């Protein structure tokens, strides 16, 4: 059961080449978006978009149900963000959107691996048997409440994003990713409040900080697209 249309992941070599191009794309940011946009994007990068050393490796120590729920729900949430970001490669027309999509891939791909390793270490499945995952197929753009994965795109929403190109894609991507990030931020705040494992809470803190910065950048871009 999935909440979104499957988008084939790009080969690792192509993705690495793309990320390398993004790293060199600071000039494009400055040339396309004005100084405020460039500063915002640089700030997001400086804050550390990828998972830090403090959160990688086994999540040793005590954990509780909130930690497990956070990991189980953040995995598919991140996977959908990667599917959305992958679409930007041949659909986006604005270099700032392409750059941000590359940063999302660079950050969230390793976070998924980390979350999966934690669940293995805790002896927990990647998918919960019931609870927050139920009803995910029916989630609409920007929906969500406590206990579920807010911000998940519906299948229809993902199909619309896949069909869009150029400026229409740029605007749809920015709008949808804002909602998607806000859902992740809400989940991370819940983990910070109710979780017990130190590494899980640290990762949640990074999600809040990094994705809040990206939301601010996306809002600025959306106003100017």
- Residues 125-143: tens digit of each pLDDT: 999 876 444 333 333 333 3
Residue 143 and residue 102: Cα distance in Å, rounded?
A: 25
Total number of residues shown for the chain: 225
| 123: in domain | yes
Helices (H), ranges, 47-165: 65-91, 95-122, 155-163
Q: Is the CB of residue 86 less than 8 Å from the CB of residue 10?
A: yes
Largest CA distance in the chain: 49
Task: Quick: pLDDT tens for 188-212.
Answer: 999 999 999 999 999 999 999 999 9
Q: What is the DSSP letter of 32?
A: H
Instruction: Give per-residue pLDDT as tens, 61-106.
Output: 799 999 999 999 999 999 999 999 999 999 999 999 999 999 999 9
Q: Is residue 2 part of a domain?
A: no
Q: What is the CATH number for 148?
A: 1.20.1260.10
Quote the number of domains for the chain.
1
56, 109, 141, 213, 216 from 53: Cα distances, Å: 5, 15, 33, 20, 25
Comparing C-alpha atoms, which of 152, 118, 146 is closest to residue 3? 152
pLDDT of residue 75: 97
pLDDT score, position 33: 40
**Full residue range of the structural domain in which residue 78 is found:** 12-132+139-224
Say what the pLDDT of residue 144 is. 38
pTM of the predicted protein model: 0.70
Q: Looking at residue 58, what is its pLDDT?
A: 64
CA separation for the pair 137, 62 (Å, rounded): 33
Does residue 40 belong to any structural domain of this protein? yes
> Could you tell me the pLDDT band of residue 149, with boundaries at 50, 70 and 90?
confident
3 assigned to some structural domain: no
Instruction: Look at residue 20 and tell me whether its pLDDT is greater than 90.
Output: no
pLDDT of 150 reads 82
**The pair of three-digit structure tokens given for residue 149, joined into one six-digit string:** 């994965």
What confidence category does residue 52 fall into, taking pLDDT thresholds of 50, 70 and 90? low
């Amino acid at each position: 059961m999935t909440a979104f249309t499957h988008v084939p992941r790009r080969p690792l070599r192509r993705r690495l080449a793309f990320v390398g191009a993004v790293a060199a794309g600071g000039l494009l940011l400055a040339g396309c978006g004005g100084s405020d946009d460039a500063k915002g994007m640089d700030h997001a990068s400086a804050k550390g978009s990828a998972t830090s050393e403090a959160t990688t490796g086994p999540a040793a120590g005590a954990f509780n149900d909130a930690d497990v729920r956070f990991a189980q729900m953040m995995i598919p949430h991140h996977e959908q963000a990667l599917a959305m970001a992958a679409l930007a490669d041949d659909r986006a027309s604005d270099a700032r959107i392409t750059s941000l999509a590359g940063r999302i891939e660079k950050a969230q791909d390793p976070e998924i691996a980390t979350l999966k390793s934690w669940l293995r270490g805790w002896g927990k499945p990647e998918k919960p048997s019931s609870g927050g995952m139920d009803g995910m197929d029916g989630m609409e753009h920007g929906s969500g409440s406590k206990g579920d994965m807010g911000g998940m795109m519906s299948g229809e929403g993902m199909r619309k994003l896949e069909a869009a190109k150029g400026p229409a894609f740029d605007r749809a991507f920015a709008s949808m990713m804002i909602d998607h990030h806000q859902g992740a931020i809400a989940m991370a705040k819940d983990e910070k409040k109710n979780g017990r494992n130190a590494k899980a809470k640290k990762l949640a803190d990074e999600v809040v900080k990094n994705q809040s910065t990206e939301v601010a950048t996306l809002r600025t871009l959306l106003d100017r697209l």
